[in-house]
């Protein structure tokens, strides 16, 4: 923690050395995309995309979940999505799942979350949809393969949920919004993109 504190305390010097780059950010933001990703510390959207400050709008939570509309009237997720689209004019949304995801692993394993009631309640928003649609595992499948499929299924499910938001649906109907599904491998840095055929492939 001390190293993080020292960097934060001296960061203003880097900003000063960067000339007008950061001062221009005070005039407003014009991000190119909204990236909805997991809060996992190993998944850093700006690092993955090479984005500089002001280039992507980020929404991060456990399991990169988009709450269903009935559960989203007073949430940070819906507020962020509405602001991104209606105020910032963003026209690309990425939902990025990742390997080694603790939230999805808890669903896949049926782990007892009684000591984590907040996590359990949060995952209950997607548990019925994901566990009912998870394909049966063959004996040859490893746990990592099963988890990978569940994470990718979750990305597809979140894209579908996103499409139920009125602000998203209206833009999609007018061909003014593009949705992207990503699967990021923590151990290799490899990015798989959701194609029109419904499968994820490295690009």
Question: Could you tell me if residue 54 is left (phi over 0), alpha (psi between -120 and 50 degrees) or otherwise beta?
Answer: left
Show the tokens assigned to 159: 């894209």
Cα 20 versus chain centre, distance: 31
**CA separation for the pair 6, 188 (Å, rounded):** 30
Q: Which residue has the tokens 């009912």?
A: 132
Strand order in the sheet with 56-61: 56-61, 33-38, 92-98, 178-184, 191-194, 200-202
Q: What is the pairing mode between strands 191-194 and 178-184?
A: antiparallel
Give the separation between CA 193 and CA 183, rounded to whole angstroms: 6
Provide the whole-model pTM.
Answer: 0.91
What is the pLDDT at residue 73?
A: 66
Residue 161 DSSP one-character state: H
Tell me whether residue 24 is exposed, middle or buried, using C-beta atoms within 10 angstroms of its C-beta: 0 to 12, 13 to 18, 19 or more. exposed
Q: What is the token pair recorded at 59? A: 């929404």
Per-residue pLDDT of the chain in tens (203 residues, 90 and over written 9)? 999 999 999 999 989 988 888 999 999 999 999 999 999 999 999 999 999 999 999 999 999 999 998 776 678 999 999 999 999 999 999 999 999 999 999 999 999 999 999 999 999 999 999 987 555 544 446 677 899 999 999 999 999 999 999 999 999 999 999 999 999 999 999 999 999 999 999 97
pLDDT the model gives residue 70: 78
Q: Token digits for 47?
A: 């690092």
């Amino acid at each position: 923690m001390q190293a993080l504190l020292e960097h934060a305390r001296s960061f203003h010097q880097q900003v000063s050395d960067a000339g007008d780059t950061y001062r221009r950010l005070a005039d407003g933001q014009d991000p190119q995309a909204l990236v909805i990703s997991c809060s996992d510390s190993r998944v850093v959207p700006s690092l993955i995309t090479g984005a500089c400050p002001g280039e992507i709008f980020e929404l991060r939570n456990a399991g990169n979940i988009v709450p269903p509309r009935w559960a989203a009237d007073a949430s940070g997720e819906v507020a962020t999505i509405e602001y991104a689209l209606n105020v910032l004019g963003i026209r690309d949304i990425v939902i990025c799942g990742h390997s080694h995801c603790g939230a999805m692993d808890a669903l896949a394993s049926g782990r007892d979350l009684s000591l984590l009631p907040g996590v359990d309640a949060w995952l209950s928003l997607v548990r019925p949809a994901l566990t009912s649609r998870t394909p049966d595992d063959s004996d040859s499948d490893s746990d990592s393969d099963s988890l990978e499929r569940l994470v990718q299924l979750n990305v597809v499910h979140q894209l579908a949920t996103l499409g139920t938001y009125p602000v998203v649906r209206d833009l999609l109907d007018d061909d003014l919004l593009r949705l992207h599904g990503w699967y990021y491998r923590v151990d290799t840095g490899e990015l798989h993109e959701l194609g029109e055929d419904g499968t994820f492939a490295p690009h």
